[in-house]
Chain A
Amino acid sequence: MPYLELKGIRKTFGNAAVLNGVDLAIREGELVTLLGPSGCGKSTLLRVIAGLTDPDEGSVFLGDRNIVALPPRQREVGMVFQSYALFPNLTVGENVEYGLKMRGAGKEERRRRRDDLLALVDLEEKRDAYPQHLSGGQQQRVALARSLAVQPKVLLLDEPLSALDAKIRKNLRMQIRDIQKRIGMTTVFVTHDQEEALTVSDRICVMNGGSIVQEGSPEEIYAKPRTEFVARFMGSYNVLSRMEAARLFGDGIGTAESYALRPESAKLLPAGDADSGKGEKAGGRIVDARIEAVSVLGNVLRYSVSAAGVPLTIDRLNDGHPLREGTSGAVRLALDPSQLLQLEKEGA
């Protein structure tokens, strides 16, 4: 039985429909990410789970209890906000103890839990400091500790890393994932960063315009986007029209209106490669191509390539020998038709 289940959640703000009858089922101990662009409704959905926003229709089941009518205090749900929301007049330790204090826990128990959690997030020495004196990453860890102190049934994270620097973000998201796995906390994570979603999640729900457009494991979402929206959102997919796909792959590509091709699934072969057979797979196609531009992204080289009149993005691992633009003669592109994905229409 799903641990947390949302059924038919609808919410309208004024004239805009923010959530269009969303259904979501989450198993115990899972980390599910709601991924999507701004305005897709992911934060609103999170707030519905927390009870900070009331849906117009729908129910929220935690275990077998419908909690949709309960105030936030009674839901046993924890939440970490993008802006940390630490209470500035209390020390780090007092912040962490806050929930326990509200529930009437005794001093001994409060102290114990506080110390446990501060150890968990590795901030014991900051116990008596005030939040304003901590860095962003540290404050977010305190916020996490504070939410976990009351042992909620579900933990909600609303873009917790968006306010932090890139380097901190990477470190912190792994720490959060470690802690989550260690204590087996059912978690819903909201973000607009697809790399973040791919790294930490057990399951990803891609949202757009108030609905979930695709659900699945990170591998599935990345390798098999169902619609053009998901393909574009998940990275540097090449999205091709039917005509373009036909030009590259010939006929027999199926009946879809649009197609997606991952940038790393085609190989660039220098022109006049004596062993041209090497790059060719059974059933593969070789087309002539021209390199328009090269970008060095660090460990990946991103080529803007034109093949059969179709502009493509092709990625290659950086082996220290980038191919140059407009190399004398053209280069050739080895395509694998099995890598061409058919996309469904939106709303399917």
Chain B
Amino acid sequence: MKRRNRWMLLGLIPFAIMVFAFQVAPILSMVSSSVHDPKGAGFTFGHYDKIFQSAYYLKAIKNSLLISVFSSLIGIAAGLLCAYSITRFTPKIRDRLLMLSNMTSNFAGVPLAFAYIILLGNNGVFTLLFRQWGWDVFAGFDLYSWSGLVLVYVYFQVPLALLLLYPSFYGIRDQWREAASLLGAGRWQFWRTVGLPMLTPAIFGTLGILFANAMGAYATAYALVGGNYNLLAIRIGSLVAGDVVNQPELGSALAVLLALSTLLAVYLNHRMSKRSQRFTASYASVPARKRERIRLKSRGTRTAEEAGA
């Protein structure tokens, strides 16, 4: 790098300090705490052992996984349909709808939990309504249970899925639809053979983000069920900053496990977006062509073009 440019690195120093102090150091601290032996000076995997042998904590992990998986799947299905719909509108209307969707995501957390209590709690608007109408099928529904949590989680999963997925629909070129149509494909056939396969990387990538989002959700669950429902995120919270029990090492271990799941999910997202580029790094991308030509020329071979296309 040129010498003058070295001065520029000064601009990075405050940034580096902040990132190290408040992002890197805490993670290191957390990981080290998770293997720290509170009694001695050594390091131990005892905390992890404890977790994997405890039905209680395993249940917390299982609950979190289940709720995350289900809310993500529902979220992505709904999000996919909404994303498809939304691309049919003019950009103006589409942007308004997206704005609405993003705004409501600000409501997530405590206000959302409370709102759902109003709607579907024991004396909730819809609970009473359904009872009045004799819709007993919903009588067994408990907002404060697993299914209730999934329902509430879906509320903030759908807008996220929508936001992440709708740009991909613009990657499905009109001309593919037109070409397919001329070759005899109906709407659904096109989506099945060309459209959805093209979207698959984006779908899986978004699924990863949704999963991580749900695993890490805290405020909503906390406000809705507090300590009454066994969720990984809540368990961590109570172990580290709780009022009653304070077992920071155990909490750290659980946090490491949670982070592993979210990291894995995000990594999936990363791999998938690379895959997407395989499809969209398109033909007429001149730089790619030039690069290949230069590369081949330098090896003294004729490019495909020169060989007479």
Task: Please give the residue numbers on chain A whose beta carbons come within 8 Å of chain B beta carbons, in ascending order.
Answer: 50-52, 71-73, 75, 77-79, 81, 83-90, 98-99, 101-103, 131-132, 134-139, 141, 146-147, 150, 163-165, 167-168, 171-172
- Given A89-B197, A89-B279, also A73-B181 (CB < 8 A): yes
Q: How far is the CB of A157 from chain B (nearest CB, A)?
A: 13
Contact of A52 with B178 in the complex, beta carbons under 8 Å: yes
- Given A138-B309, A171-B309, also A163-B185 (CB < 8 A): no
In Å, the complex CA distance between A90 and B192 comes to 12
Q: List 28 A-B contacts (CB under 8 A).
A: A51-B182, A52-B178, A52-B181, A52-B182, A72-B182, A73-B181, A77-B182, A79-B182, A81-B179, A87-B179, A88-B282, A89-B194, A89-B197, A90-B194, A98-B183, A99-B184, A102-B185, A132-B281, A132-B282, A135-B305, A137-B305, A138-B304, A146-B179, A147-B183, A150-B183, A165-B305, A168-B305, A171-B308
Select from chain B the residue with minimum beta-carbon distance to A131. Answer: B283
- Given A72-B182, A77-B182, also A88-B198 (CB < 8 A): yes
Contact of B176 with A87 in the complex, beta carbons under 8 Å: yes
Contact of A87 with B305 in the complex, beta carbons under 8 Å: no
Find chain A residues with CB under 8 A from B281 CB: 132
What is the size, in residues, of chain B's interface with A at 8 Å between Cβ atoms?
30
In Å, the complex CA distance between A84 and B179 comes to 9
Contact of A102 with B189 in the complex, beta carbons under 8 Å: yes
Select from chain B the residue with minimum beta-carbon distance to A71. Answer: B181
Q: How far is the CB of A210 from chain B (nearest CB, A)?
A: 22
Task: Please give the residue numbers on chain B whose beta carbons come within 8 Å of chain A beta carbons, in ascending order.
Answer: 173, 175-176, 178-186, 189, 193-194, 197-198, 278-284, 289, 303-305, 308-309
Contact of A85 with B305 in the complex, beta carbons under 8 Å: no
Contact of B180 with A98 in the complex, beta carbons under 8 Å: yes
Contact of B309 with A85 in the complex, beta carbons under 8 Å: no
Contact of A81 with B305 in the complex, beta carbons under 8 Å: no
Select from chain B the residue with minimum beta-carbon distance to A146. Answer: B183
Contact of A136 with B182 in the complex, beta carbons under 8 Å: no
Complex A-B, nearest 6 residue pairs according to Cβ-Cβ distance, in ascending order: A137-B309, A99-B183, A102-B184, A85-B175, A135-B304, A85-B179
- Given A132-B278, A137-B305, also A73-B283 (CB < 8 A): no
With most chain A CB atoms within 10 A of its CB, the pick from B181, B183, B186, B194 is B183
Contact of B279 with A136 in the complex, beta carbons under 8 Å: no
Q: How far is the CB of A147 from chain B (nearest CB, A)?
A: 8
In Å, the complex CA distance between A84 and B178 comes to 12
With most chain A CB atoms within 10 A of its CB, the pick from B194, B280, B282, B309 is B309
Q: Which of A50, A51, A88, A136 contacts B284 (CB 8 A)?
A: A136
- Given A131-B283, A171-B308, also A103-B184 (CB < 8 A): yes
Select from chain B the residue with minimum beta-carbon distance to A136. Answer: B283
- Given A77-B182, A137-B305, A146-B183, also A85-B284 (CB < 8 A): no
Contact of B175 with A135 in the complex, beta carbons under 8 Å: no
In Å, the complex CA distance between A168 and B176 comes to 24
Q: How far is the CB of B289 from chain A (nearest CB, A)?
A: 8
Q: How far is the CB of A47 from chain B (nearest CB, A)?
A: 9
Find chain A residues with CB under 8 A from B279 CB: 88-89, 132
With most chain A CB atoms within 10 A of its CB, the pick from B173, B189, B308 is B308
Find chain A residues with CB under 8 A from B197 CB: 89
Contact of A78 with B182 in the complex, beta carbons under 8 Å: yes
A-B contacts besides A83-B173, A132-B279, A150-B183, 7 pairs, CB < 8 Å: A72-B178, A85-B178, A87-B180, A99-B183, A134-B304, A136-B305, A168-B309
In Å, the complex CA distance between A141 and B309 comes to 9
Find chain A residues with CB under 8 A from B198 CB: 88-89
Find chain A residues with CB under 8 A from B308 CB: 171
Q: How far is the CB of B203 from chain A (nearest CB, A)?
A: 13
Q: How far is the CB of A58 from chain B (nearest CB, A)?
A: 20
Contact of B182 with A73 in the complex, beta carbons under 8 Å: yes
Contact of B283 with A50 in the complex, beta carbons under 8 Å: no
Find chain B residues with CB under 8 A from A150 CB: 183-184
In Å, the complex CA distance between A337 and B204 comes to 74
Select from chain A the residue with minimum beta-carbon distance to B285. Answer: A132
Find chain B residues with CB under 8 A from A81 CB: 175, 178-179
In Å, the complex CA distance between A138 and B292 comes to 15
